[in-house]
Amino acid sequence: MPRRRSRDHHHVYVVLLSERVWNEPAFRRANPDHDILKPCVYVGMTGLDPDLRFDRHMAGVQANRFVLKYGERLMPELYEAYNPMPYRAAVEMEVELAIGLREAGYGVWQA
């Protein structure tokens, strides 16, 4: 196993959103090809542990509005394999993960 460098502390994460988020016009516009059998999610990146970042969203600290209002839980099965990583890699992986999930039919919000 490669040795982890101290700067490799960034993470991507995915939050399951309540299906009620579909009632938000901006979310619907961002996901015209959403497969209703797939969940709606938020994809983010952080220098914190994803559990702590989710707790901060839910407490309203630097929170995404959809996570604050509709966040249910983290979905580590969709992101754990990628973490941790350097900042630049996390920035890129956030976008790539969001695109991949959207192409797979998920409803995705990524800010």
Domain boundaries, the chain: 11-110
Strand partners, 13: 44
The residue-averaged pLDDT of 9-33 equals: 97
pTM above 0.75, yes or no: yes
- What is the reported pLDDT for 6? 58
pLDDT digits (tens, 9 = 90+) for 29-82: 999 999 999 999 999 999 999 999 999 999 999 999 999 999 999 999 999 999
Rounded to a whole number of angstroms, the distance between the first and last alpha carbons of the chain is 33
- Six token digits for residue 17: 């959103």
Unique residue bearing structure tokens 């983010």: 44
- What is the reported pLDDT for 64? 97
Higher pLDDT, 7 or 60: 60
In angstroms, the Cα distances linking 39 to 5, 36, 88, 106 are 34, 7, 28, 6
